[in-house]
Structure formats: C-alpha cells, structure tokens
Structure 1
Amino acid sequence: MSAQNPEPSRSGAAADIEGSSGAGGIVDDEAAAEQRHREQELKREALNRELARLPMTDLGNVERFRKRFGDQFKWSKALGWFFWDGKRWSRDGAEARVRIASHETVRAIQDEAKALRDIALGLSQEHDIVPGEIAKARKDFEKQYKTKKDQAAGRLQLVHDADDPDVAAKAEKKRKAKADKEARFKRVIKVLFLHMDAGALADWGKASEMNSKMTPIDGHAAPYLATQIEAFDADPWMINVNNGTLFVDKALPGMIGFKPHDPTDLITKISPVNYDPRAGCPVFDAFLKRAQPDEDNRRFVIDWLGYSLA
C-alpha cells in the first residue's frame, strides 16, 4: 500500500499573501477609524466657529448648551430631566449629567475663542500681516473711534467693507497707493477684531465658570428641550431590549420588526435581555407539548398568553 501523500505545502508567496490579509484588515480598520476621527474633528471645529459668534450673555450660553447637547437631553415639567443613554431616555442620574454638560459648555468657550484666533492666523498668513501691523491698526482704530458706540459702528462698517467684493475690486482697479493702503488696513483691522473677539470670548468663558453663570443654563434650557409626559412611551406596541427595539407592523412577515434604538421613539423603559430571533425555549415547548398535545390547542394557548401580556 502506498503511503498517503502529504498535503502540498503553500508557496512562500501564497503564504505571505494569506498572512498579510489579517494585517491588511487591521490597517483598513485603523484607516477607517482615523477617517472617522478626522470627520468628528472637522465637525467640532465647524461647531466652535459657529458658536463663537453667539452673544456673550447667559442666554448665549444657553444656546451654546442647546447646540452642543440638545439632542442628548429632554425635560418634562412633571418628571424633570431625561438623558439619552444610547438605548432609552433615562432619569437615572439625569440631573448630574445636565450639570456636567453645563460645565463642558462653558469650558468649550475657550475652544470657540481658539477658533477665532485660528481664523485670524489664517488671514494673517494669507495676507502677510505681521503683529506690528495689528498693534498699529488697533491704535489707529481706537484713535478714530473713541467711544464704545462709535467703535461698534466703525466695526460694522469696516468689516462690511473688508468683505465687500466691490470695494476690493475698486481698490484693485484704481491701484492707487491710498486705495491699496486702505484695503490693507481693512484686512488688518479684520484680523484685529478677530483677536479682540477671541480675547473677549476667552474672558467670558472664564467668567461663565462661576456658579452664578452656570446655574441659569439648566433652568433656561429646560423650556427649549421640553417634552410632554404623554409623549414618552406612547406606542404600546414597542418593546425595548438591550440590543434594539421590537415593534409591531402588520406589513411585515409575522408582524414583528426589530430595529436599532432610536431617540425619536421617546422610550424610557427597557427589558434587560437581548432579542435573538433564532432563540428557542425548549423547556417551555416541551411542557406545552405534554400539557396540550394538539398543535391547534397549543397555538391557541400561545395566542392567549400573548393577548394576556398586552
């Protein structure tokens, strides 16, 4: 009897390719994670630029809170605060989470100030504006516009002109020294205002960390995030479990559907189990088969039990 042929060995190249497939998967996962991280960073930067333009007032901070955390909290006059825990709207620890979110809101004002400084830096690099020009522009601006009222009006006009393409086009067309100087002054003054606003915003952020400034955020934000108590758990045909939500839909086979948790469902309850459509219940099935040998009777009992749970 001839000996059994051994399994042919894989070539080095084939082994290298197969061995690298796992590493390639890891690299792909890391690249995808890096891409998601970058997208999140871009969203945060855009949000910081947007919020940096909000008023430096208590209500401005309330609006900051709503923009940053409005999708994570609900408030009910009857029951107080709820927070979205990823599966349901929960009251457990909601008050503390709102307070923490308030703290994070005012701390993030420093990020908003940095966003303004970054814009100013970009403009400075684009137009070769040096710090000395900014300091001189500030001195000239304060000399020309002495009162706060005049400065506010002057800022509006100067920023408008700096952004107006017609003004820039006329300055470019004339190419006169005076026009060029004025156009550059307006660019410099725009950078100056960004730095001034960034400084004022940073100071406001520090002042907002006082308890007297943070406390109004909770109270003033509540009406904007208010939800009627009747809106919670309004659909009796939804059952929330650990890994998603079961729902009744007559258009589906078996009339039962399953979907990811959704905050718009406004569910506050959850059953601490995982739904598995392939799971069986052998002990119950065996008992029911002994108690009701007839299949039609077993189906009736199961339907009756289901109606009893409603």
Structure 2
Amino acid sequence: MKMWIPHQQGRQLLGPLPEGVTVEVVADPTASPCDPAGVGFWVPPFLARPDTPELAGTMPELAVVQLLTAGADSWAGRLPERVTLCDARGVHDSSTAEWIVTAILTHVRDFAGFVRSQARREWSYDAFAPTDELAGKRILVVGAGSIGAAACARLAPFEVDLTLVARTARPAERVHAVDELPRLLPHANIVVVIVPLTAQTRGMVDAAFLAAMPDGALLVNAARGPVADTAALTAELATGRIGAVVDVTDPEPLPADHPLWTMPNVVISPHIAGSVRGLLPRAYGLAGRQLRRFVHGETLRNVVEQGY
C-alpha cells in the first residue's frame, strides 16, 4: 500500500511504518506525476486547491484521507463513500488557544494602539486613561470542542467568568446550547468563536448576533471566515461600538482596499493561529498513529461525521 504525504520531513515524523507501506511525498497532487494507483492512505496538503478532493475518485484503493487541519469543511461530503475522512482534532489545540489568549490581551491592553504609537515614535502613556484588563471579564466561548476547551483552560487563571456554548447542551459539563445565544450574548464582554464551518454555522455571526453584544464588547474569530457575515461585521465595527480580533476573513485573503484593514478597533492576523513550529511534529505524529491503526484493523480517531 502507498501513502501520500505533502512534506519531505514528514517521513521521519510519521514514526515506524507498518510492513508493506511505501511513503511518497506529493506536495501538489493536482500536478504530480505520481501514479495514484495503490494509494490507500492520503495526507493532503494544508492549502489544498478547491478541486483537490476530487482526486480521491481517481484512487481506486484509497481508504483513508487524514487531514492536517482541524477543519474539514473543504472535504466533507466530497469523497467516495468507501473513503473515511479524518481531521486533525487535537493537533491545533495549544497553538490556536495561545492565539485566542493573545488576541484578547492584545485588545484589552491596547497593544495595537501602542504599536501604532511606536511607529510614530510617541511615548503614548496617559495616567488618567489606563488600559482595560482581562481580570473580571465575562467570556463566552462559542464552540466547546477541543480547541474551545484548551482556550478555556488557558483563560481560567486570568480570573474570568467562562461560559461555553455547543450545538447541543451538555448540562453535566455546564455547556449551553447554541439556541441560547440570544440570551447569553448581551452579558458577554468577550465572545470567542471557534466553531467548525458547516451549513449551520455559516453566517452565524450575523447582524442580530452582533447587535446582541453589549457596547464595548470584543469579538474574537478563530474559526473560519464565513462563520461571520462580513458585510454585517464591517457595518457593526464601523460604528466603533464593539471591537474585533480575527484570524480569518471572508474572503481570504482580505482585499487590500477592504475597510476592515484601517479600523482602529480591529486587529487582523493572516490565518496563522495554528502556524507554529511544533505543528508538523504533532500533525505527522497523528498521521503515523492513524496509519498504524488502519493497517492493524483498529478504530480510527477523529472520523468526520456531519461535517466535523
């Protein structure tokens, strides 16, 4: 059986290979001369082209697609029924949770303002206008998966009040259902969105969602750009009533002339929450474990169902 991976260094990071498995490095499968026949286990590249999932139909022996991303929105529902799709749940927990904490602190302590002052060579300090602080804030985390849990674990020591929301309520874990958002949003100082992109979550952060947030609140989007209605988000942020720190946009990349770039209450990073040096060792460690489970007939982890 052949296994396709997109990075040369992945060979060493996979760990021991089962007998009979051959690894081929295929960085761009849409332009590769490699023969897809015999490929049973495929690890696609991070930034796959829109038509990349269609290649699965040309691989008659393909049984598993193991993604390196936590989100499976570009792949779910696009593979032959015989192929099992698995995401990289757990791989991006620490890095994305770190980004979420950084995003919040950047806003409440006004680091963006100080960076702008530094660019002007101004010692911007006003003893009568101190920055805000994280302690005492009410944080609503929309998305109670592994990344949401990791973010909460890192935020808890900051003396904050945490509320989690998932698709369905989990009373034993004190997790609220998504249909409770209209009641919960008006009480949140900070709203963190870390949900998968599905038909149900696309456009979730719409005009009504944003209007329900109180004055001075902060929106943090570490999910996917289309989870937020860009027009509604832009209109609400233009009023200055709330702020936002986003790692994702719709469209992506955000056009250079888009008004979000120049709003003083907005901080944008270019989809880098999971882009850290430890990513490939964690991702290929997962891929190697999944390969060995598959070859040995064991149950695969992180199987994508209902889009995530």
Q: After TM superposition, is the score higher than 0.5?
A: no
Compare relative contact order (CA 8 Å, sep 6+) and give the higher one, 1 or 2: 1
Give the TM-score category using the shorter length: under 0.3
- TM-score by structure 1 length? 0.20
Structure-2-length-normalised TM-score? 0.21
Query: Larger strand proportion, structure 1 or 2?
Result: 2
Q: Which has the larger radius of gyration?
A: 1
Instruction: Identify the structure with the greater helix proportion.
Output: 1
